[in-house]
């Protein structure tokens, strides 16, 4: 699981580097990026892997349940179930640690500051899980 997240982070970094202006990254930027990747990798070693695997399984099950509720026309129930699960994930210590690890990487890559993050509370109020 940690390899997956490391590969995902490296892929994002590669895409960010590719999207830079023709001048590319300076040596200082490259060094800062490498330090950020190392910090993120060290941080990820502290993440509870069992909890991540559990969230992966629960997430798949939740997706199926929400999809079924949407198909049955039970939009409110689907939205409530998705929000409940989202709050559970947001408040879980392992997921908070993962978010901190991601922040370390973003801090090392100023270009990544521009990538979209979590939607705001207002954006979430105007979206429905069945319309995703």
pLDDT in tens, 84-94: 998 988 898 88
Q: Return the pLDDT at 120.
A: 66
Q: Residues near 111 by Cβ (< 8 Å), separated by ≥ 6?
A: 16, 19, 20
| pTM for this predicted structure | 0.57
Question: Closest by alpha carbon to 55, among 130, 118, 5?
Answer: 5
What's the gap between Cα 62 and its chain centre? Answer: 17
Using 50 as the pLDDT threshold, list the residues of the chain that sit under it: 1-8, 10-11, 15, 18, 20-22, 113-115
Q: Return the pLDDT at 48.
A: 84
Residue carrying structure tokens 């330090």: 35
Residues in the chain: 132
Q: Return the pLDDT at 7.
A: 44
């Amino acid at each position: 699981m940690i390899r997956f997240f490391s590969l995902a982070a490296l892929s994002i970094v590669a895409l960010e580097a590719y999207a830079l202006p023709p001048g590319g990254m300076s040596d200082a930027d490259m060094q800062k990026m490498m330090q950020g990747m190392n910090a993120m990798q060290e941080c990820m070693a502290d993440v509870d892997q069992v909890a991540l695997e559990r969230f992966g399984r629960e997430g798949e099950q939740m997706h199926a349940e929400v999809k079924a509720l949407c198909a049955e026309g039970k939009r409110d129930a689907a939205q409530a179930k998705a929000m409940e699960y989202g709050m559970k994930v947001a408040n879980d210590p392992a997921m908070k640690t993962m978010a901190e690890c991601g922040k370390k990487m973003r801090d090392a890559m100023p270009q990544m500051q521009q990538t979209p993050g979590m939607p705001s509370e207002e954006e979430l109020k105007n979206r429905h899980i069945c319309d995703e």
